Amino acid sequence: MHLSWLELRGFRIYPELEFSPAPGLNVLVGPNGAGKTSILEAVSYLSGLRSFRGTPDVALIRTGAEGAVVRGGFVKEAGETRVEVEIPGAGRRRVLVNSKRPSRLSDVASTVPVVAFLPDDLDLVKEGSAIRRRFLDDLGSQLAPAYGAAASDYDQTLRQRNALLRRDGPMTDPLSLSVWDERLVEAAVVMWDARVELVERLRPVLDEAHRSVAGPGETLRMLVAPAWGEGPDVWDAADGGSLLRRGLEGRRRREMEQRTTTLGPHRDEVSVRLGHRDVRTQASQGEQRSVAVALRIASYRNLLDRHGHPPVLLLDDVFSELDLARTAAVVEMLPRGQVLVTTTREDEVPAVGGRRWEVGEGKVR
């Protein structure tokens, strides 16, 4: 699969942009602030339907514009998949896939998978569990529509339960809350099953990817520990739902006072361990960087295996951050599919061939 064309209107610094990258390697060269990362952000947005920088949609709209439009065509053996997103200054955005509204927005990610290596990927191992939960859910949604559906159903149920708690607080009707408890438990069990299955699927590929970056050594693995209300525990599909149900009942008064849901997959502890060490607190920065690179490589390889074609690979000024060993591990992937690389200096990109583009003044040449 490759991105054959990209159109932007009112997105970031671009009043208008039409860009047709090559199917293989594309190197976008330009000074800081030229708009290179915004192009990669737009490509990623067409898959994940959100900014990989964590920017709210309204902030993606160019200053002075009423809204933004991002369109792109992804070519596969079966033909082209066209994704269009209109982001208004106010109101709901409009998403179309081949001129039709998708039945679920989460389906888009698995239709046009994209993997991005970013300068702040170190946060994947240095920050709290929230960023690793998001990593798993983004990858799972790209691997299978069912995962995206489970995550979407859980998030919607969680939002509705929290809306009730925010509105009524200590005066929340226990019967109404019990109804949402049951819906949350049902959605949570499906979400937990999907997340734990994904972690198991990642296990061998993640360790192999880490060895390709850091060489032989301790085993790298990712762990998910659901918090049931009485401390972390291992997942047990047989009684996970009943444990969560009892946990919610035990915390009912506290949640009514706090006006939020404090148990469920949105609070899972997700850790990465190198041997017996927690990478977040017990690994050197060099080890942490190797693990972060391995997580992205494992994502890429899982998507390649699952879909039978490589995802679009985005590398945002990452080579300046990597040493020779980690650079070699990333470069080893480059020939397999389409790659978009940004850099301020062309000689920083350790790859030959491909198409070079100059980015600046709102244009790509």
Average pLDDT, the chain: 92
Inside any domain, residue 353 = yes
What pLDDT is attached to residue 233? 47
What pLDDT is attached to residue 134? 95
Both 215 and 152 in a single domain? yes
Torsion of CA 40, 41, 44, 45, to 10 degrees: -150
Inside any domain, residue 104 = yes
d(CA 188, CA 170): 24
pLDDT category at 348 given cuts 50, 70, 90 is confident
| Residue 272, beta-bridge partner list | 222
Residue 208 domain boundaries: 123-307
The number of CA neighbours under 13 Å toward the Cβ of 195 is 33
pTM: 0.92
Both 250 and 174 in a single domain? yes
Mind listing the pLDDT tens digit for each residue in 185-214? 999 999 999 998 999 999 999 999 999 888
The enclosing domain of 47 has a CATH number of 3.40.50.300
Both 303 and 315 in a single domain? no
Cα first-last separation, the chain: 23
The enclosing domain of 293 has a CATH number of 1.20.1050.90
Both 326 and 247 in a single domain? no
Both 156 and 276 in a single domain? yes
What pLDDT is attached to residue 234? 52
What pLDDT is attached to residue 229? 54
Higher per-residue pLDDT: 6 or 348? 6
Helix pair angle (145-168, 174-214), 10° resolution: 140
Both 89 and 140 in a single domain? no
Inside any domain, residue 50 = yes
Nearest Cα to Cα of residue 110 among 49, 21, 191: 49
Inside any domain, residue 71 = yes
Of the candidates 291, 307, 323, which is a domain's last residue?
307
Q: What backbone phi and psi angles, to 5 degrees, belong to 271?
A: -120, 160
Both 67 and 127 in a single domain? no
What pLDDT is attached to residue 325? 79
Inside any domain, residue 252 = yes
Mind listing the pLDDT tens digit for each residue in 292-302? 999 999 999 99
Inside any domain, residue 163 = yes
Inside any domain, residue 161 = yes
What pLDDT is attached to residue 230? 52
Structurally, the chain folds into a number of domains equal to 2
Both 175 and 290 in a single domain? yes
Q: Mean per-residue pLDDT for 91-105?
A: 95
Both 143 and 281 in a single domain? yes
Mind listing the pLDDT tens digit for each residue in 225-253? 887 655 444 556 567 788 899 889 999 99
Inside any domain, residue 49 = yes
In angstroms, how far is CA 337 from the centroid of its own chain? 20
What pLDDT is attached to residue 157? 97
Angle at 17 between CA 12 and CA 19, to 5 degrees: 120
User: Is residue 184 over pLDDT 60?
Assistant: yes
What pLDDT is attached to residue 111? 95
Both 319 and 174 in a single domain? no
pLDDT category at 334 given cuts 50, 70, 90 is low
Higher per-residue pLDDT: 361 or 40? 40
What pLDDT is attached to residue 236? 60
Both 261 and 290 in a single domain? yes
pLDDT category at 326 given cuts 50, 70, 90 is confident
Mind listing the pLDDT tens digit for each residue in 310-324? 999 999 998 887 887
What pLDDT is attached to residue 155? 96
Of the candidates 257, 287, 307, which is a domain's last residue?
307
Of the candidates 307, 325, 352, which is a domain's last residue?
307
User: Is residue 25 over pLDDT 60?
Assistant: yes
Both 101 and 201 in a single domain? no
Q: What stretch of H or E contains 15?
A: strand 14-19
